[in-house]
Amino acid sequence: MAKKTMKRQARAANDMDGEIGRRIRLIRVQRSLSQEALGEVLGVSFQQVQKYEKGVNRVSASRLADIAGRLSTSPHHLMGWQDKQSFDGIDIDTYKLAKEFQQLSFAHVRVVRHLIAGLIAAGN
């Protein structure tokens, strides 16, 4: 019985699943696609898409490839495996800040954006 428990825990969603889900959601929203519409083309419910995006359910490799194709991107991009060249011109601090920003809740994103806009308006 203990082996089954360990096996389930090993397959449970983790932080990487959450990161993939955030990327799926970001690209889906950028493409003006609803969860319902994406679910329909994938053959799953919008609830399943929602679970992928929240990182509650893991996305299998084949499903990741399917999602990437439907969103006109690559599994590589959804996994966050960017080429070094795609970050040319962006210093490491900016990159780290962007990664941390992605982890904020929607409410905190709004607050941080407001703060940044205020700093820019005030001339830093």
91 shares a domain with 64: no
Across the chain, what does the average pLDDT equal? 84
Confidence of residue 71 (pLDDT cuts 50, 70, 90): very high
111 shares a domain with 52: no
73 shares a domain with 21: yes
Determine the Cα–Cα distance for residues 60 and 91; give it in Å rounded to an integer.
33
Determine the Cα–Cα distance for residues 60 and 65; give it in Å rounded to an integer.
9
Determine the Cα–Cα distance for residues 9 and 2; give it in Å rounded to an integer.
11
106 shares a domain with 69: no
Determine the Cα–Cα distance for residues 35 and 21; give it in Å rounded to an integer.
12
> Structurally, how many domains does the chain consist of?
2
Q: In degrees, to the nearest 5, what angle opens at C-alpha 30 toward C-alphas 118 and 106?
A: 45
- CATH code assigned at 17: 1.10.260.40
44 shares a domain with 65: yes
Tokens matching residue 88: 């040319």
Q: Could you tell me the residue range of the domain that residue 46 belongs to? A: 2-79
102 shares a domain with 57: no
pLDDT tens per residue across span 13-52: 788 888 999 999 999 998 899 999 999 999 999 999 999 9
The pTM of the whole model exceeds 0.95: no
Contact 20, 27 (CB under 8 A): no
pLDDT value for 90: 63
